[in-house]
Amino acid sequence: MKVQALTGNHDRNGFDCGVEALNFWLRQTALQHQAKGISRTFVTVPSNAGDVQGYVSAGYGDIGEASILGFYALASAFVLADDLAPELAKHYPRQIPVTRLGRLAIRSDLQGQGLGRLLLADAVTRSRNAALSVGSAGIFVDAKNTTAAKFYAEYGFTVCKEQPLKLYLPMW
């Protein structure tokens, strides 16, 4: 698989992660927000025809080269240091610029196979590279539910003060 910026050529309608709000956002909103510079969406797709063939042989008959296997979106945001866990807040001024990981989702039938971890790593690397040019102290995520929050916590994200679904990962 490879990761690319979302374009109109990707098959947004064929994507289903089991959370309709995320499917809908990808179908209806992602490209509009991208055009306005509100957020940038990245998708993972099969690397080439051989990769597609591998998926088809494994029983994923609907996967083609334009199929979206997973996606995430990044945007800029500010958070109040006071909202972070106290041990992190003490390092920062009152308000800090962060990169917001808005959405991360994997096709339902490919969940649990490591794709989410790969996309999260890609999001962190991309955010850190961008932060070399425009300041951003860390990655902030609004988890959809406690299950998603556990996923982020497993990779070092810290729960914000009194907000168990908001998590933060310092980048520096």
The residues annotated with a catalytic role in the active site are 152
Q: Which residue, 101 or 131, has its beta carbon nearer to ligand COA? A: 101
Print the binding letters for residues 88-127 with ligand COA: x by CB under 6 A, - otherwise: ---------------xxxx----xxxxxxx----------
The CA distance from 48 to 72, in Å, is 21
- Asked if 22 touches ligand COA (CB under 6 A), the answer is yes
Name the minimum Å distance from CB 115 to ligand COA. 4
- Asked if 19 touches ligand COA (CB under 6 A), the answer is yes
Which residues, including other chains, have CB under 8 Å from residue 125's CB and lie 6 or more apart? none
Name the minimum Å distance from CB 41 to ligand COA. 13
Strand-pair partners of 71: 43, 105
- Asked if 68 touches ligand COA (CB under 6 A), the answer is no
Which residues, including other chains, have CB under 8 Å from residue 13's CB and lie 6 or more apart? 27
The CA distance from 61 to 109, in Å, is 12
CA of 149: how far to CAs of 7, 103, 141, 142, 166, in Å?
28, 12, 9, 8, 8
- The binding site for ligand COA (CB under 6 A) comprises 17-19, 22, 103-106, 111-117, 143-144, 147-148, 150-151, 154
